[in-house]
Amino acid sequence: LAKTTQPISMDSYEGQEVNITCSHNNIATNDYITWYQQFPSQGPRFIIQGYKTKVTNEVASLFIPADRKSSTLSLPRVSLSDTAVYYCLVGAGYSTLTFGKGTMLLVSP
């Protein structure tokens, strides 16, 4: 299983862009990269998924370089409500995804 490494925590201020980078050096050819968000006392929620280059939705953008050994989740103009834990996962098909401890993002006024 591809293992991921991401920062334990990050701090930001309202209105700033936040970029969280995840390393996955042994990603397999058919693995996808998926990011989840978790608020306290709730289950994780899917944010975005990609395979290569760039994916954008109404919530975030995901940047994946050509070698796919890392990925960056970009949150534009964060607000206080974006304070949460963000998990980076890689996997495909029926493989088990490992969530790990994620990145705790704290957004301050």
Partner 1 sequence: GAGVSQSPSNKVTEKGKDVELRCDPISGHTALYWYRQSLGQGLEFLIYFQGNSAPDKSGLPSDRFSAERTGGSVSTLTIQRTQQEDSAVYLCASSLVGSSYEQYFGPGTRLTVT
Residues binding partner 1 (CB under 8 A): 31-32, 34, 36, 42-46, 49, 85, 87, 91-102
Q: Report in angstroms how near the CB of residue 9 gets to partner 1 at its nearest.
A: 12
**HSE-CB of 55 using CA atoms within 13 angstroms:** 16
Kindly tell me which of 13 and 99 has the beta carbon lying closer to partner 1.
99
- Nearest alpha carbon to residue 19 among 57, 65, 75: 75
Q: Report in angstroms how near the CB of residue 20 gets to partner 1 at its nearest.
A: 15
Helix (H/G/I), strand (E/B), else coil: 82: helix
Which residues fall within 8 angstroms of residue 55, CB to CB, at 6 or more apart? Answer: 48, 49, 61, 62, 64
Tell me if 71 sits within 8 A of 88, measured CB to CB.
yes
Kindly tell me which of 1 and 15 has the beta carbon lying closer to partner 1.
1
Q: Report in angstroms how near the CB of residue 107 gets to partner 1 at its nearest.
A: 19
Kindly tell me which of 13 and 56 has the beta carbon lying closer to partner 1.
56
Kindly tell me which of 81 and 96 has the beta carbon lying closer to partner 1.
96
Distance from first CA to last CA of the chain, Å, rounded?
Answer: 39
Q: Report in angstroms how near the CB of residue 99 gets to partner 1 at its nearest.
A: 4
